[in-house]
Amino acid sequence: MADTAVQQLPVARSSSRVGAFVRRYRLAPYLLLVPALAGIALVYLWPLAQMVLYSFQNFGLPQLTGAAPVQWVGLANFSTTFADPEFWIALRITVFFAAVAVPLTLVSGTVVGLLLNRLGRRMSVFVSAAVLLAWATPPVSASVLFYWLFNPDGGLVDWTLSKMPNWLVGSTDWAGFNWTTTGALQAYTVLTVLVVWQSFPFIAVTTLAALKTVPAELYEAARIDGANAWRLFWRITYPLLKPIFLVLLLLSVIWDFNVFTQTYLLTGGLANRNEFNLSLYLYDKAFTFPPSYGLGGALALIFTLILLIITVGYVRASVRQGALS
Amino acid sequence: MKLTRSAAAIGAAVVLAGAAAAGCGSGGSSSSAGSSAPAKLTVWRMGPSVGSQVTWMNGVVAQFHKQYPQFKTTKVVVDWIPWANRITDWTNALTSGKGGPDITELGNTDTPGIAGQGALANITSEVKAWPQGSSIIAGNLANDTVGGANYAVPWFGGVRGIWYRKDQFAKAGITSPPTTWAQLTSDAKLLMAKYPGTYGLGAPSNFTNGIVSFIWGAGGQVAVQKNGKWVAELNTQASEAGIRFYAGLLLTQHVSPAKYVGQTELGAPGATSGGSDEDFAKGTLDMYIDGPWAQSSLEAVSTKYKSQWASFPIPSQNGPNPAPAFAGGSDLGVWAKSPNQTAAWDLVRVMDSPANATTFANLQGFFPEFTSALSGGKYSGSPVMAGFAKAAAYTQISPLNSKNWATADATDAIIPTMMKSLMQGASFTATVNKANTELQNVLNTGSES
Amino acid sequence: MSLLQVSPRTAKKTKNISLNALAVLIAVITLFPIFWMVSTAFKPSQEIYSLTPHLVPDHPTLGNFAEVISGRVSGIGPVWLFFRNSLAVTLATVLVASVLSLLAAVGVARFRFRFRTSFLIMLLIVQMIPGQALIIGLFRDFDRLNLLQNLGGLVIVYAAQALPVSIWMLRNFVATVPRHLEEAAAIDGAPPRTIFWRILFPLVAPGLVATSIFAFITAYNEFIVALTFLGQAHATYTLPIYVTYFFGRGGAQWGPIMAASVMYTIPVMIFFLIVRRRLVGGLVAGAVKG
């Protein structure tokens, strides 16, 4: 197990003056971070500051081009959002979707990662290539593919379901069943399959990478003691991989909250308002023409806050985990 | 970069000559910015590059150079903007102030919104001075007019009508296309009886531009302007008759299938296959509401019945004239921030001359926007185009050209949402009243409440 | 060996068979939509729209691929231009993101300093912000910096967007490398550079592979920022922008779109096959516990 006390990286006996300066003021970590931080500040933090500013203003295209003055509107953008029933519906849909998609993604990704760890070479190349293809398929193409599979007309799923025997949930009612426009539940079922299909590879590859860092001797010792696969997983693998799982959980929640392209294409663009999730709602309210960047900023802030509240427990745990090493 | 002295001298001479020649000016343009020959003019065309259109444009540019010798050296560059990206490209050019075109094509429903954001140049006086300007279909020019000023000119357009198959009508004993609603539904049922397993008339719920023809065809209005404010009229008796009829195509007449609920005429928007267009091409739908531009997408699905395709205008409630149809199409506008507006407008005049507009429109199954080009039976030779040409004489644009229409229809989807609820069995009066209130609010203020 | 165990060879064989069977099942399920994509790419348009699903095209055609390769619909040039731009941007992104995130991960995992926790939390929070809202600010800023309409600006954005995830992931990998290895090497007089390359790097390599694939795919498929930043600089257009030319006013040309998607994924596969060695071969027997 890794050492639990944090220590400085052992320094070599370098006598350069810069080296001495760095050591004296303990600048090493800052130097290592500065390039990444610079990039993140430019691409995230600076636009974020602007976005926060806009959210208190009536910022739209005329303001952007200078054709009209920027006006301070205070909390108006926020209160408009909270008063909109569509916002709450979209929020509910988003939360339910994430609650289903995230566990499915994590479990399937972990299972495949474990599997990949144990397969022989040729098999593992085959499976990992398949998995990678699912990940690499452009989201637009993937969405359309799944739409076709679930198409009421000539789609494979409806066709198969209508031909299956009754005891297996089949019936001719399935022919022509419109998955994506009938209602949110049906559409998001398809979306869940699609998102899990596209997201589990990342989990699998990361899990595999993490598994590779677990010393083989631990497994050997446990197996000699007669442990079966299940116990091996829970007693050895899971505790060692918990930090990574926590990160993956956080990332999955964040991404599944934000999923846009697939939702847009599967629910028919902006036409089916009762099927909006939060990112479609945001796009619809703020970024369709003519855009309203002030409202967009406010919505984005609300969105982020909601995510933060939902994940605060996990964030704390994850950071604390880091403090241990 | 090394320029030999002689090359530089020649270059300078050309520029000076061009400037001198252009100093003669052209056609009294009051908003001219730069009357010397620009090095190039950029034209934004919407959609993928199509070989026949490239050829057409080359011919037009040759004409432009001949008719306006002061612009002989001006290169014309065409940028093809994928339809899905147009809003982003316009917005970015607008906000950054650079990278914009000199001329841009616009979908005619985009024009009022884009003009309202200040992206297009005011060409009112140019249009007035244009000899062919008076022949432009009034309704379509009105679409490009915001606050009394012209910001674009219509280029080509089309109206929706009803596609049908001549062989099916013949076999079902229908001798002439229906001109009233009653005839329309009885014909649909006749077809369904003669061709079991098909549906008579496709009625997708997400089809504002088709639905409005039924509202207008009953004598109703979607919204009207009174004292400078919009008053929505979806819940007048006439409008409700149209709405009820359309929803009834599914609910009471059963000539349209349930699977079109939530769809546009092309199926689920934003992607995919499966929609009334495909069904018509494949032969499982007998009558299909759309415009002549659907020809190429129908052919892409199936050419089995292509020789039998024909069209007739959407009937009004009691005939004999067709229902007014919304004229969709493209306009041409001059970019407000272009430094070459004089040259740009001259090029527009060439691109949109009645002759050129006609040849261009014919490439795609559209119509030119000049009454002179539409009349006189010019399209009677084609069974597909004849019906649409007849329909093209009865157009209405308002309120689809209002400043907030894009918000009402594309963003808030008020009419599609209303129709979808009705087709799913919601209470009629309550649903229509709710949509009416929302529509009025959006048209006036841009937001639903 | 416990008396209750079957002979190790039989047990191993059964387990191998059942593992392989499971692997095949998973691969088939995962590959099915891909199969559909490939099948569609070879179908003429009339077959794409059909009432009954056709698993395999009746009249396969190369026409869709020809259409994609010619680049006719863009009016700009053949597809190789877009491929080149996409690959250049993506590979540069992977390189920059890998280097920067590894450095930062080492800094965060191996040192304790005042802003460490805030930095980590900040990395998480920036990912929660919906990207759509940030684009307008990003657009204005890069406009002022004159970084629009060129691929360099894209690389900066994509690399920065890959950093939070990469740093978080690599942090864990760096943290699990046993410290005593580094200490032993230092005591032996090895400079930090050697410690980094000889000890740390091989053990975080699997994690680095995972994050570099992530950065690759994210940058490669990204569309909105590319469209917004590149404007009308046609020569810099990337593959995702090229594909939008096949989406028309009324409908889309699905055959070419699927053909483009198939061609699209080939470089990703190549990249993956090159780096996967590192992913699988990361565990060097015995070296860890030496």
Q: How many residues does chain A have?
A: 325
Chain A to chain B, count of Cβ pairs less than 8 Å apart?
Answer: 96
| pLDDT, tens only, C74-92 | 888 899 999 999 999 999 9
Would you call C191 and A14 a contact, using CB atoms and an 8 Å cutoff?
yes
| Residue in C34, C179, C189 nearest the CB of A137 | C34
Would you call A304 and C264 a contact, using CB atoms and an 8 Å cutoff?
no
Helices (H), B383-427: 383-391, 405-406, 414-423
Name the amino acid, one letter, at C207.
Answer: G
Would you call B113 and A144 a contact, using CB atoms and an 8 Å cutoff?
no
Q: Would you state the pLDDT for residue C114?
A: 82
Q: Are B288 and B160 in contact (CB under 8 A)?
A: no
Same domain (yes/no): C146, C272: yes
| Token pair of C207 as six digits | 């994690």
DSSP string, B290-358: E-TTHHHHHHHH--TTGGGEEEEPPBBSS-SSBPPEEEEEEEEEEBTT-S-HHHHHHHHHHHTSHHHHH
Give, for all 449 residues of chain B, the pLDDT tens digit.
Answer: 333 333 333 333 333 333 333 333 333 344 444 457 888 999 999 988 888 999 999 999 999 999 999 988 889 999 999 988 898 899 889 888 888 999 999 988 888 888 888 899 999 999 999 998 888 887 788 788 888 899 999 998 888 999 999 999 999 999 999 999 999 999 999 999 999 999 999 999 989 999 999 999 999 999 988 887 899 999 999 999 999 999 999 999 999 998 888 888 776 544 445 688 888 999 999 999 998 888 888 888 888 999 999 999 999 999 888 999 888 789 999 999 999 999 999 999 999 998 899 899 888 878 888 877 776 667 777 888 888 888 887 888 778 767 678 778 876 789 999 999 999 999 999 999 999 999 998 888 766 65
Q: Chains with 3 or more CB pairs closer than 8 angstroms to A?
A: B, C
Averaged pLDDT score across all residues of chain C: 84
Residue C170 burial by CB count (10 A; 0-12/13-18/19+): exposed, middle or buried? Answer: buried
Q: Is the pLDDT of residue A147 over 80?
A: yes
Residue B348 burial by CB count (10 A; 0-12/13-18/19+): exposed, middle or buried? Answer: buried
Predicted complex ipTM exceeds 0.90: no
Q: Are A261 and A198 in contact (CB under 8 A)?
A: no
Q: Would you state the pLDDT for residue A1?
A: 38
Chain C contact for A22, CB < 8 A? no
List C-alpha distances in Å: B318 to A229, B159, B241, B314: 77, 20, 12, 12
Pairing of strands B145-146, B285-290: unpaired
Q: Would you state the pLDDT for residue A145?
A: 87
Q: What is the C-alpha separation between B380 and A316, in angstroms, rounded?
A: 75
Q: Does domain B160-326+399-445 have CATH number 3.40.50.261?
A: no
Nearest-CA residue of chain C relative to B78? C75
DSSP string, B100-145: --SEEEEETTTHHHHHHTT-B---HHHHHH-GGGGGB-HHHHHHTE
Would you call B88 and C250 a contact, using CB atoms and an 8 Å cutoff?
no
Would you call A40 and C243 a contact, using CB atoms and an 8 Å cutoff?
no
Residue that is written with structure tokens 């057409």 in the block: B56
Q: Is the pLDDT of residue A8 over 50?
A: no
DSSP string, A66-95: TSS---B-TTHHHHHHHT-HHHHHHHHHHH
Q: Would you state the pLDDT for residue A40?
A: 95
Q: What is the C-alpha separation between B290 and B11, in angstroms, rounded?
A: 53
Read off φ and ψ for residue B43, nearest 5 degrees: -115, 125
| pLDDT, tens only, A295-319 | 999 999 999 999 999 888 887 877 7
Chain B contact for C45, CB < 8 A? yes
C290 within some domain? no
Q: Quote the domain boundaries for residue C171.
A: 71-280
Q: How many residues does chain B have?
A: 449
Same domain (yes/no): C116, C37: no
Q: What is the C-alpha separation between B185 and B183, in angstroms, rounded?
A: 6
Averaged pLDDT score across all residues of chain A: 82
Residue B16 burial by CB count (10 A; 0-12/13-18/19+): exposed, middle or buried? Answer: exposed
Q: Are A278 and A94 in contact (CB under 8 A)?
A: yes
User: Where does B160-214 show beta strands of DSSP type E?
Assistant: 161-165, 199-201
Would you call C19 and A118 a contact, using CB atoms and an 8 Å cutoff?
yes
Same domain (yes/no): C155, C184: yes
Read off φ and ψ for residue B226, nearest 5 degrees: -130, 120
Same domain (yes/no): C184, C155: yes
Q: Which residues of A touch C229 (CB under 8 A)?
A: none
Q: What is the C-alpha separation between B34 and B343, in angstroms, rounded?
A: 9
Would you call B274 and A268 a contact, using CB atoms and an 8 Å cutoff?
no
List C-alpha distances in Å: C107 to A59, B200, C94, C126: 39, 70, 20, 19
- Fold match between B14-158+328-374 and B160-326+399-445? yes
Q: How far is B323 from chain C (nearest CA, A)?
A: 23
Q: Chains with 3 or more CB pairs closer than 8 angstroms to B?
A: A, C
Would you call B270 and A289 a contact, using CB atoms and an 8 Å cutoff?
no
Q: Would you state the pLDDT for residue B141?
A: 85
* Angle at CA of residue B302, ends B301 and B306, nearest 5°: 125
Q: Would you state the pLDDT for residue B29?
A: 41
User: For residue C232, what are the contacts with CB-CB under 8 A and spacing of at least 6?
Assistant: B42, B79, B89, B93, B99, C149
Pairing of strands B75-81, B40-46: parallel
Same domain (yes/no): C233, C140: yes
Nearest-CA residue of chain A relative to B208? A271
Same domain (yes/no): C110, C166: yes
Q: Chains with 3 or more CB pairs closer than 8 angstroms to C?
A: A, B
- CATH code for the domain defined by B14-158+328-374: 3.40.190.10
Q: Would you state the pLDDT for residue C288?
A: 38
Q: How far is C60 from chain A (nearest CA, A)?
A: 19
Q: Are A281 and A84 in contact (CB under 8 A)?
A: no
Chain A contact for B117, CB < 8 A? yes
Q: What is the C-alpha separation between C245 and C75, in angstroms, rounded?
A: 10
DSSP string, B201-224: E---SS-HHHHHHHHHHTT--SEE
Q: Would you state the pLDDT for residue A106?
A: 95
List C-alpha distances in Å: B222 to B232, C51, C251: 6, 37, 27
What total number of domains does chain C contain? 2
Would you call C172 and A210 a contact, using CB atoms and an 8 Å cutoff?
yes
Q: What is the C-alpha separation between B223 and B399, in angstroms, rounded?
A: 6
Task: Provide, rounded to the nearest whole percent, the portion of chain A with pLDDT above 90.
Answer: 30
Would you call C248 and B48 a contact, using CB atoms and an 8 Å cutoff?
yes
Same domain (yes/no): C100, C168: yes
Mutate to test the interface with B, among A65, A79, A191, A276 (most CBs of B within 10 A): A65
Instruction: Please tell me the least confidently modeled range out of A116-120, A122-126, A180-184, A275-279.
Output: A180-184
User: For residue A156, what are the contacts with CB-CB under 8 A and spacing of at least 6?
Assistant: A148, A149, C36, C53
A197-219 burial string, b = 16+ CB within 10 Å, else e?
A: bbbbbbbbbbbbbbbbbbbeebe
Q: Which one of A9-18, C69-78, C81-90 scores highest in mean pLDDT?
A: C81-90
| pLDDT, tens only, B181-203 | 999 999 999 999 999 999 999 99
Q: What is the C-alpha separation between B9 and A314, in angstroms, rounded?
A: 72
Query: Residues of chain A whose C-beta is under 8 A from some C-beta in B?
Result: 61-62, 64-65, 67, 80, 83-84, 143-144, 147-148, 151-155, 176, 178, 180-182, 264-266, 268-273, 284, 288-291
Would you call B268 and A181 a contact, using CB atoms and an 8 Å cutoff?
yes
Q: Are C68 and C79 in contact (CB under 8 A)?
A: yes
Residue that is written with structure tokens 């994690």 in the block: C207
Q: Is the pLDDT of residue A169 over 60?
A: yes
Would you give the DSSP letter of residue B39? S
Q: Which residues of C touch B197 (CB under 8 A)?
A: none
List C-alpha distances in Å: C221 to A267, C63, C108, C158: 21, 24, 29, 11
| pLDDT, tens only, A225-248 | 777 777 777 878 888 888 888 889
Instruction: Report helix, strand or coil for A155.
Output: coil
Q: Which residues of C touch B271 (CB under 8 A)?
A: 252
Round the CA-based radius of gyration of chain C to a whole number and report it: 24
Mutate to test the interface with B, among C36, C40, C49 (most CBs of B within 10 A): C49
Same domain (yes/no): C78, C112: yes
Same domain (yes/no): C51, C183: no
Q: Would you state the pLDDT for residue A173?
A: 64
For chain A, domain boundaries: 84-288
Residue that is written with structure tokens 């090029």 in the block: B347
Q: Would you state the pLDDT for residue B34?
A: 47
Q: Which residues of A touch B110 (CB under 8 A)?
A: 289
Would you call A153 and B279 a contact, using CB atoms and an 8 Å cutoff?
yes
Chain A to chain C, count of Cβ pairs less than 8 Å apart?
Answer: 331
Q: Would you state the pLDDT for residue C259?
A: 93
C154 CB-side CA count, 13 A: 30
Q: How far is B443 from chain A (nearest CA, A)?
A: 14
Q: How much is the average pLDDT of A24-47?
A: 87
Would you call C49 and B93 a contact, using CB atoms and an 8 Å cutoff?
no
Q: Is the pLDDT of residue A280 over 50?
A: yes
Q: How far is C13 from chain A (nearest CA, A)?
A: 12
| Residue in B80, B273, B277 nearest the CB of C75 | B80
Nearest-CA residue of chain A relative to B272? A144
Residue that is written with structure tokens 């003429």 in the block: C44
For chain B, domain boundaries: 14-158+328-374, 160-326+399-445
| pLDDT, tens only, C188-236 | 877 777 777 777 888 888 888 889 999 999 999 998 899 999 988 889 9
* Angle at CA of residue A259, ends A151 and C213, nearest 5°: 105
Q: How far is A136 from chain C (nearest CA, A)?
A: 6
Q: Would you state the pLDDT for residue B377?
A: 67
C237 CB-side CA count, 13 A: 26
Residue that is written with structure tokens 């790097």 in the block: C201
| Number of other residues whose CB lies within 10 A of the CB of residue A41 | 16
Domain boundary among C46, C63, C80: C63
Residues in A 88-107 with any Cβ partner in C closer than 8 A: none
List C-alpha distances in Å: B120 to B34, B106, B335: 17, 11, 5
Same domain (yes/no): C89, C201: yes
Instruction: Please tell me the least confidently modeled range out of A49-63, A252-266, B79-93, C49-63.
Output: C49-63
Round the CA-based radius of gyration of chain A to a whole number and report it: 25
C287 within some domain? no
| Number of other residues whose CB lies within 10 A of the CB of residue B107 | 15
Q: Which residues of B touch A83 (CB under 8 A)?
A: 449
| Number of other residues whose CB lies within 10 A of the CB of residue B425 | 9
User: Where does C101-201 show beta strands of DSSP type E?
Assistant: none
Q: Would you state the pLDDT for residue B19?
A: 36
Q: Which of B255, B233, B247 is nearest to B178 (CA)?
A: B255
| Number of other residues whose CB lies within 10 A of the CB of residue B440 | 20
pLDDT band of residue C289 (cuts 50, 70, 90) is very low
Would you call A143 and B97 a contact, using CB atoms and an 8 Å cutoff?
no
- CATH code for the domain defined by A84-288: 1.10.3720.10
Q: Which residues of B touch A262 (CB under 8 A)?
A: none
pLDDT band of residue C115 (cuts 50, 70, 90) is confident
Nearest-CA residue of chain A relative to C244? A140
